[in-house]
């Protein structure tokens, strides 16, 4: 299991979860989850936002390290960065393990008292 301090070496879980705390940004991450680079025009489809609105959300994701962009001529292409997603998953696994341990301890305590 990863050390929580190691999680902070590369990506801050709080920044990752904060960036993911919006349904538009979650939709963008979902669209990018297949690993294929997408243009803002492609990412805007179906979101009901302007390209400028989508760009603002992509910048939040990019600042958290979840998305990388590359300029191709006049157009930017965005791709999901897998490492921060792994950081978030590892963090959640650690928290889940801590809760499982706490519940085992509580169960043992309750059974011992009976």
Q: What is the CATH number of the domain that holds 25?
A: 1.10.10.10
Q: Is residue 63 part of a domain?
A: yes
Q: Is residue 5 part of a domain?
A: no
What mean pLDDT do residues 43-67 have? Answer: 94
Domain that holds residue 55: 12-113
What mean pLDDT do residues 59-81 have? Answer: 93
**Can you tell me whether residue 38 is helix, strand or coil?**
strand
- Residues written for the chain: 114
**Residue 43 structure tokens:** 């990412």
Better pLDDT: 8 or 54: 54
Number of domains making up the chain: 1
Q: Is residue 58 part of a domain?
A: yes
Secondary structure of 43-98 in HEC code, one letter for each residue: HHCCCCCCHHHHHHHHHHHHHCCCEEEEEECCEEEEEECHHHHHHHHHHHHHHHHH
pLDDT at 18 exceeding the cut of 60? yes
Residue 4: band (very low, low, confident or very high) from pLDDT cuts 50, 70, 90: very low
pTM for this entry? 0.74
Q: Is residue 106 part of a domain?
A: yes
CA 42 to each of CA 29, 65, 74: distance values in angstroms, whole numbers, following the listed order: 13, 21, 15
pLDDT at 64 exceeding the cut of 50? yes
Task: Write down the pLDDT at residue 41.
Answer: 93
- For 50, phi then psi, to 5°, come to -75, 165
What mean pLDDT do residues 4-23 have? Answer: 73
Mean pLDDT of the chain: 87
Task: Write down the pLDDT at residue 10.
Answer: 58
């Amino acid at each position: 299991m990863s050390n929580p301090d190691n999680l902070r070496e590369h990506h801050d879980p709080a920044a990752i979860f904060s960036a993911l705390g919006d349904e538009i940004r979650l939709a963008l991450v979902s669209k990018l989850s297949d690993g294929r680079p997408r243009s803002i025009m492609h990412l805007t489809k179906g979101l009901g936002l302007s390209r400028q609105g989508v760009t603002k959300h992509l910048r939040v994701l990019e600042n958290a390290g979840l998305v990388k962009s590359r300029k191709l001529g006049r157009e930017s292409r965005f791709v999901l960065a897998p490492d921060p997603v792994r950081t978030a998953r590892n963090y959640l696994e650690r928290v889940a393990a801590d809760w499982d341990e706490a519940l085992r301890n509580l169960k043992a305590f309750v059974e011992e008292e009976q």
